[in-house]
Chain A
Amino acid sequence: MGLPLLSSILLCPLVAFGLILCIPGRYVNVVRWIALTSAVLTLLLSIQMMRSMNFAIPDFQFIENYAWMPAYGIRLSFGIDGMAAVMILLTSIIIFCGVLCSWVIEVRVKEFYANLLFLVSGVFGVFMSTNLFFFFLFYEIAVLPMYFLIAIWGSTNRNYAAMKLTLYLLAGSTLIFTGFLMLYAHTGSGTFELMQLHNVEFSKSSQIIYYAMFFVGFGVLSALFPFHVWSPVGHVAAPTAASMLHAGVLMKLGAYGIIRIGLVLFPEGAKFWSPTTAILAVCGIIYGAMIAVRQRDIKFIIGYSSVSHMGIVLLGISSLNSFGLEGAIFQMFSHGIMTALFFACIGYIYDHCHTRSLDDLGGLVNQAPRISVMFIIAGLVGLGLPGFSGFVAEFLVIVGAIQAFPIIGIISTLALLITAFYVLSAIQSAFFGPVNTRFKSMPDVQSWQIFPRAILIMVLLVFGVAPKIFLDWIIPTSTHILQVYS
């Protein structure tokens, strides 16, 4: 390809964003088709990226480096390794399905898609940036449009949720901002380039401080206990595509940051904090699961289950061994797709039933078997049913956790039990049981609306029965990162 691949993946949503801003708001269909075209292009480009990427070498590939303000260490540089590549693939799958699932929105369509595309370009930018200035710039761009998406198109308690989410996430990013500036000042060579920062020696005490700053700063975005409180209200209030992006991709940005910057640059710090972070992760897993048990609003259940599943990711990262890290990255991907599927299904149900409460819904499997089955599949993935990718991910993380912290690992398996409980009881209340006559006339999903949800299920299934495909992509990277720890 003549054009650099990574820049094109980044430019696709940005150019579409620009185009959509120029079109008058009443040409709703034009806006939708532009968004869809850019999502399709991005997906094709990411698949091409996966095909032409050599996963056996752990170094950064598709490197692009443009001088921006060289005197201040700011260069526009991109590069991906295995982990970043799968994250970009995840984002492009979710934005594609998100754009399709948002087709039914009628209010202020132009601004909705503009915000969505701007957000997604920020996310892509984070995954492919290897210069800390642009990492941070794209990180902030990925957070701010959520405010508008939730405040304008959201549902329950949207103003409160939007403000809480934005302020929490940006408060977390203050630690990251200060940390990046300190790194720049510390190195003396005046660089923000990740590849050059690898070679810098940090003293053990400074590593401990830096790792703590970055772990908490990125952890806020990853729903690290006890900074997770923004996440469930944000999930509930956001419109479908925003929730899909938020839980599916945004929360993974945090874990990605911890791995890319915390684990790689500060191994001594990671080892020092690893017991503490493991305990916080397990708290998150169990706390999230137990609160989900008591929820009556399905989106709150999914929100707290996201907190719980992200706890699994953080536990995998804290184990600092190969099973743990591979499981963590696998869980990032698998949970992203699964939660996108969850929100896609519940979004459809909410659009037609105008309620998400377990008390009101019931027996939906009779009127709408297809959407019910899709939601049930998502639930089964969540509780770790073998055959789907969720099982592989959780298995790897728990084995890694038991290797590193036997007691903590065993406690985390309890969470699986609690997850099974709330998932199955939610499914039983909403979908099985006596038919609720209020929703007798609810239409089931039609063909083109099945399509995005089916794609998500396919991905979960493929990586569930053939996890080696995914693991081949990430094992070289994770082995390379963990070299320092053995």
Chain B
Amino acid sequence: MMKSIHMLLPELGLIAFIGTLFMRTLFEKRFHHKITSHIAIIFSLAIVVVSLSVFNLSGSVYNFFMDSYEINFASQLFKLLLSALLFIVILLSGKAQAIPRGQKTEYLIFLACATLGMMLLVSANEFLLFYIALELVAYSTYVMIPFRKDPRAAEASIKYIILGATTSAMLIYGISLVTGIARSTYFVDILLMAPNLFPNPLFMIGCLLVLCGIFFKLSLFPFHFWAPDVYEVAPTSVVTFLATSSKATAAFMLIKVLATLGSPAMLTPILIALAILSMTLGNATAILQKDLKRLFAYSSIAQSGYIMVAALIMNREGNQSVIFYVVCYAIMNMAAFLVIILIGRAMATNNPQTSDLNGLSKRSPLLAFLLLVSVLSLAGIPPLAGFAGKWFLFAAAVQAGYSWLVLFAVINSVVSLYYYLILVKHAYVDPPTLEAPISLDYRYQAIILCILGLLLGIGIYPTFLMDLATIAANSI
């Protein structure tokens, strides 16, 4: 097994990263703080490269730690995505205003811990490891929220912790029910036993409770209450991390757990109801928001609804469209939050309002274009990635017979277009309130151009990503 240990390199790299940062905190006075950000960038870039190198397209499967840890195509795809997102977030945190300078290292440690947890989560093949990894992510993110010395930050983080702890409790109880009845904690065993267990009401309740744990991370109704407050108040780079990595992992775990539990069709009516409520609530409330981060929080609640529409089909087409959409969604959200971060810095505020976007097309055409592309992509307008993603999501749902649900979801998309277009209107139509042009560092310009290229490229020619998603769905 020694020769295949190199497949674990991304995780080992992250552990080394955390270790280095921890050493750094012990020698606080000796080194200049700038070295931290350089170390961070180099390490995260190295992890991206390493994830790319272990990205095996051959589809072979490796098992570690007594079969509890599985490395397959889907897990490596997500590790690549997570490491790329971590890299970009670290790059953006360079000048983060909301994080006190002395605590930069701690912030980076928790970011890396959360990413490590997510990487463990996507490879978990066993419920105990699943729970441990989920808790690792949860605790890391609990601590990241209140970095700003702000009473509202404390309030939001308390909400997050309490709701998170509650759903964790539900999760572990659900896991205990499921594994108790199936007599094993391994996913493969539960999958084998599942068809026999369906009529058992205890098993059903267990499944539902396990799913509740995932709904919390996905900010699906009725566990979405934390999202608006947390998004509004936390440092924007933390919110970016939550909105992209955490969401992506949660969506992946949703389809993985649903597949493991034997695709319980009895749960479908509940899932449909949750999807409808999330979409409606998210879109309806987003219309009223003036704070950009709150608006995107509600928009992400609605997007979870769309993901749920395809996830509840619980077949291969649905899963591959969910994976495709999740990758696109991570990129689109990253783009949108990039704009929010840069606007926030230009206006010297942690909470940019929609009126801060006024006249963006004159102040920074590139940033305005990025906003336009990311927001239209979120709304599902061709020829962008979001349109392709929604097309595949809803095509899978219609093929499974949920035409009326899809009609409802598409109407919700049009409603969401309203508040997205308002942002575009502020950027392109309204005259600027502040005339100063926003200049962008070459690093940001490079990232922006990459993201634009990805969103347009995936939208016009989705085949490449769709093939990856198909192989990934097959390996679940």
Contact = CB atoms under 8 A, between A and B. Distances in A.
Interface stretch (B186-194, B241-249, B406-414): B406-414
Nearest to A154: B429
Interface in B358-413: 376, 381-383, 387, 391-392, 394-395, 398-399, 401, 403, 406-407, 410-411, 413
Nearest to B418: A167
Max count, chain A CB within 10 A of own CB: residue among B382, B383, B401? B382
Contacts of A171: 411, 414
Contacts of B17: none
B431 to A, nearest CB: 11
Contact of A137 (B382, B410, B424): B382
Given A140-B382, A174-B413, A178-B403, A166 B421 contact: yes
B302 to A, nearest CB: 15
B425 A170 contact: no
Interface in A11-49: none
B323 to A, nearest CB: 15
A152 B463 contact: no
A171 B387 CA distance: 15
A142 B340 CA distance: 29
Interface in A307-350: none
Max count, chain B CB within 10 A of own CB: residue among A147, A177, A182? A177
A163 interface: yes
Q: How large is the interface on B (under 10, 10 to 19, 20 to 34, 35 or more residues)?
A: 20 to 34
Contacts of A177: 394, 410
B392 A141 contact: no
A151 B413 CA distance: 21
A166 B463 contact: no
A147 B422 CA distance: 11
Contacts of B376: 144
A141 B421 CA distance: 15
Q: How large is the interface on A (under 10, 10 to 19, 20 to 34, 35 or more residues)?
A: 20 to 34
Contacts of B381: 140, 144
B20 to A, nearest CB: 44
A133 B391 contact: yes
Nearest to A139: B382
Contacts of A170: 414, 417
A230 interface: no
B433 to A, nearest CB: 17
A354 B398 CA distance: 52
Contacts of A175: 407
Nearest to B391: A133
A69 B414 contact: no
B395 A72 contact: yes
A173 to B, nearest CB: 8
A451 interface: no
A105 interface: no
A137 B411 contact: no
A166 B419 CA distance: 12
A11 to B, nearest CB: 14
Contacts of A159: 425, 429
Q: What's the dominant secondary structure at chain A's contact region?
A: helix
A147 B418 CA distance: 11
Contacts of A182: 398, 403
A163 B418 contact: yes
Contact of A167 (B395, B399, B414, B461): B414
Contact of B398 (A151, A174, A184): A184
Contact of A185 (B398, B407, B414, B429): B398
Contact of B429 (A144, A151, A181): A151
A43 B26 CA distance: 73
Contacts of B382: 136-137, 140-141
A148 interface: yes
Contact of A69 (B387, B407, B428, B466): B466
Contact of A181 (B398, B421, B425): B398
Contacts of A181: 394-395, 398-399, 403, 406
A151 B394 CA distance: 31
A133 B463 CA distance: 14
A364 to B, nearest CB: 32
B429 A174 contact: no
A152 B361 CA distance: 12
A174 B418 contact: no
A417 B364 CA distance: 55
Interface string A240-275: 000000000000000000000000000000000000
A174 B410 contact: yes
A159 B426 CA distance: 11
Contacts of A141: 382-383
Given A140-B381, A140-B382, A163-B418, A69 B463 contact: yes
B175 to A, nearest CB: 36
A428 to B, nearest CB: 38
A178 B425 contact: no
B407 A152 contact: no
A174 B462 contact: no
Interface in A154-188: 159, 163, 166-167, 170-171, 174-175, 177-178, 181-182, 184-185
B383 A137 contact: yes
Contacts of A133: 391
Given A69-B466, A163-B418, A178 B429 contact: no
Nearest to B470: A71
A214 B441 CA distance: 49
Contacts of B417: 166-167, 170
Contacts of B398: 178, 181-182, 184-185
A123 to B, nearest CB: 14
A159 B425 CA distance: 8
Nearest to B422: A163
Contacts of B461: 68
The 9 A-B residue pairs with the shortest CB-CB distance, nearest first, are A181-B398, A174-B410, A185-B399, A137-B382, A178-B407, A151-B429, A170-B414, A185-B398, A140-B382
Given A133-B391, A141-B383, A174-B413, 20 more contacts: A72-B392, A72-B395, A137-B383, A137-B387, A141-B382, A147-B421, A147-B424, A152-B428, A159-B429, A167-B414, A170-B417, A174-B407, A177-B410, A178-B403, A181-B394, A181-B395, A181-B398, A184-B395, A184-B399, A185-B401
Interface of A: 68-69, 72, 133, 136-137, 140-141, 144, 147-148, 151-152, 159, 163, 166-167, 170-171, 174-175, 177-178, 181-182, 184-185
15 contacts: A69-B462, A69-B463, A72-B395, A133-B391, A140-B382, A140-B387, A144-B381, A147-B424, A163-B421, A170-B414, A174-B410, A178-B407, A181-B394, A181-B399, A184-B398
